[in-house]
Structure 1
Amino acid sequence: MKALHTVEPEAATGETAALFTATHRTLGLVPNLARVMANSPAVLKGYLGAVTALSTRGTLPAEVRESIALLVAQENGSDYCLSVHAFFATRLAGLSPAEAARARRGAAGDRRIAAVLELAAVVLRDRGSVTDEQLAAARRAGLSDGQVVEVVAHVALNVFTNYLATAARVDIDWPLVRHTD
């Protein structure tokens, strides 16, 4: 049972309707989580702005962004977000199902992606307390300071969506992937 009301696209007006139109144009649908965010148009607008900025002006490629999202959703036990990002990772970002499964565990065959996931796991598990040695390891793997900042941003953005999806008990509108699988 949903804990929070969802705003239906057909009933949306003003800024919310425009945000739904943009979401639909990008994804081909308005996901249930966006419908929950629309209870506060400021939240939906901020979320879409952050996602758009990181995906169009950030330097981390889609496969890395989706790998971070899978790791965070797995760690937080968010089946909604795990389902979303398993779909995006394998259908849009080019990860194989095996690579997506590894990302959920914080692992990757690519050295650079593995370093990103190691950093993301530390940021998530230690709530941002990254040691000098961990930063040095990320830099040795080729991450710039800007990319480190983007990793932290992706972790934070995904924690937000994981928590909101869980708090709202959002109905999963993607092929189901459970964190217990």
Structure 2
Amino acid sequence: MPEFTLHTIENGPDASKSVLEASQNAYGYVPNLLAVMAESPALLEAYEAVSAIFAEKTNLSATEQQIIAMTNNRLNGCEYCMAAHTSIMQAAKVPQDVITALRDGTEIADPKLEALRLFAEKVNQKRGWLEDADIDALLAAGYTKQTVCDVILGTAYKVLSNFTNHIAETPLDKGFAKNAWSADTLVES
């Protein structure tokens, strides 16, 4: 497979530099995912836009957003994103039992959060071809039709990063190494 460049602010395409600079300023470094995505300024911009929309414009809590993201990361076998989002969840003080369940693909003790995890799983596995009962279960747990649509948004967000990482074989950043995860541990639901 061709090797993908980890672009820097100095050597990245001009149209990607502003995103790389913003990342450097926000995190103190450019995460390898963004460094790879910089190859395509359009992909980098789309990822940043969808990520921001998912984080800022849904009615989901940070924990609920991570449930959707991590469920997709696990099902798509994205080792980079599993480690990165584990670190994000730890920083956001998501309960450890929720983090463990998401990494292992096991049940979350909170029934409402578990309903969201199961729904996100079905959206991914069924590629959106859901049955009424799938949607009804999410609604019965206290979510809304907006949540149905927000899960689709979160799934699309993760396709951008998960597929990029698969193709580019994005190396894990040092800061995420303590949360390394292997797709070999994937538990089929």
Considering the TM-score relative to the shorter chain, is it more than 0.5? yes
Contact 2:13–2:38 (8 Å) recurs in 1 = no
Per-residue CA distance 1:58-89 (angstroms, 9 max, x = gap) = 11111111122222222222111111111111
Is 1:43 aligned with 2:47?
no
Q: Percent of pairs identical after alignment?
A: 24
State how 1:116-127 maps to structure 2 within 5 Å: 116-127=116-127
Matched residue, 2:101: 102
Distance 1:155 1:125 in 2: 11
Aligned residues: 180
Q: Structure 2 counterpart of 1:52, which letter?
A: A
Call closer, same or farther: CA 1:27–1:67 in 2, change over 3 Å.
Answer: farther
- Residue 130 (structure 2) pairs with residue 130 (structure 1): yes
Deviations 1:111-132 (A, max 9, x none): 2211111110001111111111
The equivalences for 1:17-96 within 5 A come to 17-92=17-92, 94-96=93-95
Q: Distance in 1 between matches of 2:37 and 2:74?
A: 21
Unaligned runs of at least 5 residues, structure 2:
none
Deviates further, 48-57 or 6-15:
6-15
CA deviation digits over 1:9-62, x for unaligned, max 9? 232364311111222344343111111111111111111011111111111111
Q: Is the 8 A contact 2:112 2:142 kept in 1?
A: yes
Gaps of 5+ in 1: none
TM-score of the superposed pair, with normalisation by structure 2:
0.86
Matched with 1:177 is 181
Q: Which runs of 4+ in 1 moved over 4 A?
A: none
Q: Which amino acid aligns with 1:63?
A: T
Q: Does 1:12 align with 2:12?
A: yes
Matched, 1:148 2:152: no
Q: TM-score, normalised by structure 1?
A: 0.90
The structural deviation recorded for 1:106 is 5.1
1:80–1:172 Cα contact (<8 Å) kept: yes
Q: CA deviation at 1:167?
A: 0.8
Distance 2:27 2:63 in 1: 17
Please state whether the residue corresponding to 1:12 is helix, strand or coil. Answer: coil
